[in-house]
Amino acid sequence: MDNSLILCLVIYSLLACCGIMVLVWVWAHKIKNAGVVDIFWSYNFSVIALILFLGAPGFQTRKTLICAMVIIAGVRLGTHLATRIIIHLHEEEGRYQQLRKEWAPNAEKKFFFFFQFQAISNVLLAIPFFIITLNTQTALSPFEYAGFALWFISITGEAIADRQLAAFKKDPANKGKVCDTGLWNYSRHPNYFFEWLMWFSYFVFALASPYGYIAIISPAIILYLLLKVTGIPATEEQSLRSKGEAYKKYQATTSVFIPWVKKR
């Protein structure tokens, strides 16, 4: 494999993602809403997939399948977030309001580097996509079929969880209440669980390619971020600030992550 080609694909992806995030930061600075970064973090994976589809030398059928999977997932999540965020564009999400307070008086400067870190994370997490699209073997493996099946389950589950939460919030009667219907009756974060499962599916898909085991980096990072850093901890802190005792009661009866495990 031509190492210079791999380096070029990585550089093109990094430049594209970082460039997009510079523009997003300018927009976020203007409207005072850093939450828009989440939209383009999702969309950036679709950008990387397009770069790899056009430039990677792998087997065309395999490239088409994995790039379609990544583009569909990235566009679905990005558009879902855009719909939610743009409706309240001038009302910054609580997590970012908290960061703005903690980072004052240099919040905008720190947000710039935060946005660039998000772009770098896009490329780092895309390791499975690079591995897969470089694979020139002309037959699909059982690992790839299994990866696709897991991906289909995960994107369906995440879409259902997102739709259930959106429907709950849309009902004026639920203002100030905790969503505990559907999948949210079993897990406080079913959307995060299925998002992680999706990244695990990319790892399974990558096992059919040379050095595919390296792709475990992506679901491992996602799991760590969700459980320990920017996912569940930040979301739960904000929920406790906004819903108080109602959310504490919800915590006592639901699993933090896995949808089908409900506390009694």
For residue range 75-104, list pLDDT tens digits in order: 999 999 999 888 888 888 878 888 888 998
Which candidate, 83, 93, 53, 91, places its Cα nearest to that of 70? 53
Tens-place pLDDT, residues 195-212: 999 999 999 999 999 999
Q: What is the mean pLDDT of residues 230-256?
A: 81
pTM for the predicted model, two decimal places: 0.91
Angle at 40 between CA 19 and CA 143, to 5 degrees: 105
What pLDDT does 198 receive? Answer: 97
Q: What is the per-residue DSSP string for 179-241?
A: P-SGGGGTBS-HHHHHHHHHHHHHHHHHTTSTTGGGGGHHHHHHHHHHHHSTTHHHHHHHHHH
What pLDDT does 58 receive? Answer: 95
pLDDT band with cut points at 50, 70 and 90 for residue 263: low
pLDDT band with cut points at 50, 70 and 90 for residue 264: very low
pLDDT band with cut points at 50, 70 and 90 for residue 231: confident
Q: For the chain, report the end-to-end CA distance as a whole number of angstroms.
A: 54
Is residue 144 pLDDT above 90, yes or no? yes
Q: What is the mean pLDDT of residues 141-151?
A: 98
Could you give the CA distance from residue 193 to residue 182 in angstroms, rounded to a whole number?
14
Q: What is the mean pLDDT of residues 117-130?
A: 97
